[in-house]
Amino acid sequence: MPRVVVIPVSGYINRLQAITSAALLAEDLGADFHICWLPQAVAPVPIESVLADGTCIAYAVDAAEVRSSTGIDPDHVPRYLGRSGDVITLAGHDRGEQVFMRGLRGALEEGPVDAIVIRAGGRFFLPGPGIDEETFRGRRHAFYRQEILASAIEAEAAHQTTAHTPYLGLHLRYTDRAHQAPTGRTIARALSDLAEGTGIHRVFIASDTAAMRDTWRTRIASLGLEPWAAEHAHWDRSVAGSEFAALVDWRILSGAAALVYFAESTFAVEAAVASPGFAASVALPPSPLRSLGVRAADLTRAAVTYPKRRGWLPSA
């Protein structure tokens, strides 16, 4: 059986998706599993800051080991699906990995394979009889319910939830997904309906900015609900320490009885998958008017700054 080596990239939950997907792929193939973690600007910390000690000890390998054992440079895995000798490589880039899964099955049947090296920042699974999106979601749920994160993260999340269980979750993402956000009225209505349907009035708020978290804390209280949130010292994803804040929020969200979240946010979608209440959770689509407004504002800013960026105007 081949080794499966995953090189997770992008943000923390994108990486967690890739690690989970590759671990399940290795399980299906009866293969050894390895994680080659490379810090990046949006995830500038070592693997030990994110994953449980047992996971790091059992599965982590460094880039030099991947190069020497497979001949593949983890920083430059060839684009898309390929094969070199007895090593299969996959890096989906703009197309993602899932589109190549049937091709991967075919490549595995072409001859002996020593290693499958996958550079990914998302989820993927090898389809087959009885294996579809729904069953894959169930397998991800089971994987996420384990204590997979660093012990300090798991402990803080458990401590935070002690006085609030049961609770609903609300995830807000505006910094890089403002054009995909629903309206405030839609969010408030969904949260009120969910609280009424479940009989749960405590609401945990997770956001990518302190300002939006505090705004919604006030708004949720005005709905007659009981908002709460974890306090964080770091919000900037490019700063070490922000992983603790983000992953504590994610783990708390994953313990919610049900969530209201932005449908386009991977962070929130995977929290809902990890939660016991995926079926009851509410995924809110983007507001077309908000999307249009945000994009118009971006185009206006680009037009205003274009002459200076092109060097047509003197710098201040």
Q: Which residue has the tokens 């990914």?
A: 120
Q: How far is CA 234 from CA 42, 217, 225, 242, 310, in A?
A: 13, 19, 27, 5, 35
CA dihedral over 145, 53, 49, 231, signed as positive or negative: positive
Look at 81-90, 268-277, 285-294 and tell me which has the smallest mean pLDDT. 285-294
Q: Is the model's pLDDT at 175 over the cut of 80?
A: no
How far is Cα 298 from Cα 168, in angstroms, rounded to an integer? 34
Strand pairing category for 87-91 and 80-84: antiparallel
Question: Model confidence at 130, in pLDDT bands (50, 70, 90)?
Answer: confident
Higher pLDDT, 16 or 293: 16
pLDDT band at 232 (very low <50, low <70, confident <90, very high): confident
